[in-house]
Structure 1
Amino acid sequence: MTCRRSALGAAPVPAPTPVPATAPAPATALLGAALAAALSVAAPAPAQTPPGVLVVAQIAEPQSLDPHAVTAVNDFRILMNIYEGLVRYAPGTLEVEPALAESWDVSDDGLVYEFALREGVSFHDGAPLDAEAVVFNFERMLDEDHPYHDTGPFPLSFFFSAVESVEAVDPLTVRFTLEAPYAPFLSNLAYPTGLIVSPAAVGAHEEDFGRNPSGAGPFRFVEWVSNNRVVIEANPDYRDGPPDLEAVVFRPITDANTRVAEMLSGGVDVMVEVPPDNLAMFEDDPRFDVHEQAGPHLWFLILNTREGPMADRRVRQAVNYAIDKTALVENVLSGTAEVAAGPTPPAFGWAYNEALEPYPFDPDKARALLAEAGHEGAELTFYVTEGGSGMLDPVAMGAAIQADLVRVGLDVTIETYEWNTFLGRVNPGLEGKADLAQMAWMTNDPDTLPYLALRSEATPEQGGFNSGYYANPEVDRLLEDARRSTDQDERARLYREMQAIVQEDAPWAFIANWKQNAVTSAKVAGFELQPSFFLLLRDVTKN
């Protein structure tokens, strides 16, 4: 291979030569008839799922199976089984360990990361996974002149904005040079945005790659039937040996009651995000196992700080005082979450500001603030979703929040949308559309959520997720300083300062930190939830 050094923004690299997909394994043929009969959404739920096949009830249809193009944990749960990255989170932690890279070195100044790739790894389509393939992945996201940059968008390419260049030093060595020290770099490489896709498959399918994925993970893609199922099968050539499962089927079942009914009837083997009021029923039934795992989750309301009543900080604070968050957690969520105090989840213990107390439930204080701001009786539009990644019974939560806001004199109209439609309205920004909107994030580092959703330069117009247009120069400075510091104690101090300012400014209504859950059939073994909120299914078995 010819070694090269590529500075991002340089001339386009040559297009990859498509590599034909390998012939389908016997599993594909075995699955066909069983899936058609057992998994059709129009057919009654079967008494038993196909042998050797794990059927997972998801909360929504995926947006894409291109890891560089999506942001939702709902999609990540599939992607983490098709692809691998240079590094990954060690099981049960958010600590980084080797994956496609067997080792790495970091320069003393924190600017150069050099990764040694494993030998003999291939993508599912047969193409070699080498240093040039890794370079392709990051240039595709970061270089606007790359021939496959337009197969995006790449909304979380923010994660690698510090990368100045990426170089194939030799066939099995990749070097990243950063513009400045960037503490979250390794953690971001372990996130789904850092998963490595096959350049040949991107070249073959271009903008349709998200429907025709090829990675190097323990499972390989079989089919995606819209609004019905995504099927992946065991990769017999996986570097750590093939999974015991023959295949996994992800079924999008948006209605929570329908997911519960399918679980009870045997139509699915795994259900994620169990409605809180159903947990006790599953815990008491020997046919099922209930799994719980704390993680870095925040459920909040985005408030439109650019226009309307929410442009006044006093109104935003009033909303925080008006919502009875303890009642939401105890009644709607049946105790499966804790009241949130600010923008950083307590799961990031080293960076969490324990001195912050949640906004207390104080309707009188809320009314006084509204009167002071001159916004008593203000008319508000509130976006609610039917369900989505980590959204915590959103319809019931939305109705309860609406009732609390009405009690302090606000006139709140709810508009409810299916998850992907909801994202299509919220992510481009609330201006001209809504005053507040539900949102949930599960993150990998205390940098991620505030950097992508609270910086003044992270508005939707600038490619970020600051859909409420919050801006505070001091918050911007603290976030920039924190991500450039390689001293964890210093980073922690900066993040704690940021949290205190953001809580006072109240660009969001801080509602709850959730403990994720899932239910599995007693036939399923080896299943564990991860703090990352991903589903890792290689070691799962099914009797």
Structure 2
Amino acid sequence: MQFIMIIINAEHQQGEHEMTPLSWSRRGLMAAVGAALVAGGLSGSASAQTPPGVLIVGQIAEPKSLDPAAVTAVNDFRILVNVYEGLTRYKSGTLEVEPALATGWDISEDGTEYTFTLREGVSFHDGTPFNAEAVKFNFDRMLDENHPFHDTGPFPLSFFFGAVEKTEAVDDMTVKFTLNAPYAPFLSNLAYPTGLMVSPTAVEAHGKEFGRNPSGTGPFKFAEWRSNEAVVVERNDTYWGEVAGTQAVVFRPITDANTRVAEMLAGGIDMMVEVPPTSLGQFQGDGFSVAEQAGPHVWFLILNAKEGPFADKRVRQAANYAINKEAIVNDVLEGTATVAAGPTPPAFAWAYNEALDPYPYDPEKAKALIAEAGAEGAELTFFVTEGGSGMLDPVPMGTAIQADLQAVGLNVKIETYEWNTFLGEVNPGLEGKADMAEMAWMTNDPDTLPYLALRSEAWPDKGGFNSGYYANPKVDELLEAARTATDQDERARLYREMQTIVQEDAPWVFVANWKQNAVTSDRVENFGLEPSFLLHLQGVVKN
């Protein structure tokens, strides 16, 4: 902290204007950020206080990219929603959609045309105007293989907008989407980070390097990315809405959970997301605030249904019986989650199948199924991650799962990876590499996860996330029908039937539904978690 004050005082003596914590010059701000990063590597009193006006957030991993169309992890999204905006957004505290860069919209009677009126007077951070042509550019870049900047991808969640047949700039501030069929999740998907609007000019200037040189319309603008150290965003003083309450936010990747906890306790960071359940008690006293929020999360094991022991449904079911999920939830996760019953989180109450009970812990039944399938003593490779978005406490969870499976006669070898490396192994598919892998999803609509990760058309070689190669034509049929149904009750019926079939087929081991958490120092005000699992920091103030 002494180093930071020297920098500020030196600037003041050199004739810079009078500075308060929220009105530093950019040079002083960036110097203070740099000093904070140096201090973050120290211990004890050296890191006892972060600089004023700069919010330092302990993230679980380095972002893969700052191009919202190119990433899939909530870890990345937590940064991006502060830099970019979409046509719609989630209303605070809910998953209901409200206007953002669009001020309103009309939907045709047949549900295949959406016409949006855009917000006037909005500019990207590079000074170029936000308009209908910019919207068209964003969607054409993702969806049109012949677009000149389609090669800035890949765009792994372009599935979200697969129903879009055409995007048309009707006039400067009106854009129309024509869909190939009614698509119930469309407005919700526009609010998801994949629908965030990027500057066409910045994409044209930086090409495939746009993800390191982002430009959006949000309350913060990109300042710096120091690989494996920090992403820094600074307040956008020309923002069309309410100006952010802090001068800058520093997102520090601290992959080891225990190190994040130690940094938070020492004062090296102001905020920490995804606190390990066993560490929450350390933040219950003075000096910290703990935030918790339920949301649409599911933690599961992907099982390789294409080859090896898990190609047999009986062995997949055996894994569900063999794993003591209650013990994982209560002992490893310290009661911060509930046992999952299927692929749809209970947070989607209107679509959740309450008639389903979780697989009970029944090791004897697991042994019988394994024997029936002739899989006794099978050798299994299990991919485990060190950490990641929504992954909770993945190493202890993986160790507990390994022990339970070995207790019923399966020999499990764990391979552990850093989060982005882990995704690089799992997302292309488990074939030839592993029999099972940890995974967690936090979604925006009951359509999202099953459509992207359970359909036969979502196998990795077809651009999806069905890394275990599950296939059931009836599930495919139900999911296609549910996303085009315009009546919510009918959608709910279809999703509930899908859940029943998927639970029986057991392509995953359904483990836990988590209640997210975060810790802030007592210098941080106006912070709250969202059910979307996104991290909106515009209104946060740091004393």
TM-score if structure 1 supplies the norm length?
A: 0.95
**Residue pair 1:27, 1:233 contacting (<8 A) in 2 also:** no
Cα distance in 2 for partners of 1:136, 1:379 equals 49
The residue number in structure 2 matching 1:224 is 225
Cα distance in 1 for partners of 2:501, 2:256 equals 38
3-state DSSP of counterpart to 2:400: helix
**Residue pair 1:92, 1:530 contacting (<8 A) in 2 also:** yes
- Per the TM alignment, residue 32 of structure 1 is displaced from its structure 2 partner at its CA by 2.1
3-state DSSP of counterpart to 1:351: coil
Which amino acid counterpart does residue 385 of structure 2 have in structure 1?
Answer: T
CA RMSD across the alignment? 0.9
The residue number in structure 2 matching 1:127 is 128
The residue number in structure 2 matching 1:104 is 105
The 5 Å alignment of 1:45-194 reads: 46-194=47-195
- Per the TM alignment, residue 27 of structure 1 is displaced from its structure 2 partner at its CA by 4.6
Cα distance in 1 for partners of 2:224, 2:36 equals 15
Cα distance in 2 for partners of 1:379, 1:27 equals 60
Cα distance in 1 for partners of 2:460, 2:424 equals 12
Cα distance in 2 for partners of 1:27, 1:33 equals 10
3-state DSSP of counterpart to 1:331: helix
Cα distance in 2 for partners of 1:382, 1:302 equals 10
Identity among equivalent pairs (%) = 74
- Per the TM alignment, residue 46 of structure 1 is displaced from its structure 2 partner at its CA by 1.3
3-state DSSP of counterpart to 2:106: strand
- Per the TM alignment, residue 368 of structure 1 is displaced from its structure 2 partner at its CA by 0.1
The residue number in structure 1 matching 2:16 is none
Which amino acid counterpart does residue 33 of structure 2 have in structure 1?
Answer: L
Cα distance in 1 for partners of 2:24, 2:32 equals 13
The residue number in structure 2 matching 1:351 is 351
Cα distance in 1 for partners of 2:279, 2:305 equals 37
The residue number in structure 2 matching 1:14 is none
**Residue pair 2:105, 2:114 contacting (<8 A) in 1 also:** yes
**Residue pair 1:65, 1:211 contacting (<8 A) in 2 also:** yes
The residue number in structure 1 matching 2:269 is 268
Cα distance in 2 for partners of 1:240, 1:36 equals 29
Gaps of at least 5 residues in structure 2 are 1-22
Which amino acid counterpart does residue 526 of structure 2 have in structure 1?
Answer: G
3-state DSSP of counterpart to 1:515: strand
Q: Among residues 33, 36, 48, which one is paired with 2:34 in the alignment?
A: 36
Structure-2 change in CA distance of 1:27 and 1:161 (3 Å): farther
The 5 Å alignment of 1:187-336 reads: 187-283=188-284, 285-336=285-336
Cα distance in 1 for partners of 2:95, 2:196 equals 16
Cα distance in 2 for partners of 1:236, 1:114 equals 30
- Per the TM alignment, residue 281 of structure 1 is displaced from its structure 2 partner at its CA by 2.0
**Residue pair 2:387, 2:394 contacting (<8 A) in 1 also:** yes
Deviations 1:125-149 (A, max 9, x none): 0000000000000000000000000
Cα distance in 1 for partners of 2:243, 2:34 equals 25
Deviations 1:104-128 (A, max 9, x none): 1101110100000011100000000
Which amino acid counterpart does residue 340 of structure 1 have in structure 2?
Answer: A
Cα distance in 2 for partners of 1:30, 1:532 equals 35
Cα distance in 2 for partners of 1:89, 1:83 equals 14
Q: Which is worse superposed, 49-58 or 240-249? A: 240-249
**Residue pair 1:27, 1:247 contacting (<8 A) in 2 also:** no
3-state DSSP of counterpart to 2:237: coil
Cα distance in 2 for partners of 1:521, 1:104 equals 40
Cα distance in 1 for partners of 2:200, 2:25 equals 25
Cα distance in 2 for partners of 1:28, 1:227 equals 23
**Residue pair 1:191, 1:444 contacting (<8 A) in 2 also:** yes
Cα distance in 1 for partners of 2:297, 2:327 equals 19
**Residue pair 2:370, 2:376 contacting (<8 A) in 1 also:** yes
Cα distance in 1 for partners of 2:304, 2:461 equals 15
Which amino acid counterpart does residue 327 of structure 2 have in structure 1?
Answer: A
**Residue pair 1:86, 1:100 contacting (<8 A) in 2 also:** yes
TM-score if structure 2 supplies the norm length?
A: 0.95
3-state DSSP of counterpart to 1:114: strand
- Per the TM alignment, residue 26 of structure 1 is displaced from its structure 2 partner at its CA by 5.8
3-state DSSP of counterpart to 1:220: strand
Cα distance in 2 for partners of 1:158, 1:291 equals 32
- Per the TM alignment, residue 47 of structure 1 is displaced from its structure 2 partner at its CA by 1.0
**Residue pair 1:27, 1:246 contacting (<8 A) in 2 also:** no
**Residue pair 1:318, 1:366 contacting (<8 A) in 2 also:** yes
- Per the TM alignment, residue 38 of structure 1 is displaced from its structure 2 partner at its CA by 1.7
The residue number in structure 2 matching 1:16 is none
Cα distance in 1 for partners of 2:334, 2:42 equals 33
3-state DSSP of counterpart to 1:81: coil
